[in-house]
């Protein structure tokens, strides 16, 4: 199985937030709280 953990060589889908708390996503709907999107282990979109 290649899902369920973050380790070298494993597939990965992840969203890295530009916020210290995940709860900020709900408070900033429509805002830009996503810093980086990783899909299938590759960086798909990255902000600053």
Q: What is the pLDDT of residues 3-15, one digit of tens each?
A: 667 777 777 788 8
Q: What is the pLDDT of residues 30-48, one digit of tens each?
A: 777 888 888 877 887 766 5
> How many domains are there within the chain?
1
Look up tokens 């990783």; give the residue.
38
Q: What is the pLDDT of residue 1?
A: 54
pTM value is 0.59
Determine the 3-state secondary structure of 30 from DSSP: coil
Look up tokens 């900033």; give the residue.
28
Domain containing residue 2: 1-48
């Amino acid at each position: 199985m290649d899902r369920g953990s973050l380790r070298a060589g494993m597939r990965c889908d992840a969203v890295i937030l530009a916020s210290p708390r995940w709860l900020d996503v709900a408070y900033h709907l429509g805002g830009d709280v996503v810093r980086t999107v990783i899909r299938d282990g590759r960086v798909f979109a990255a902000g600053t």
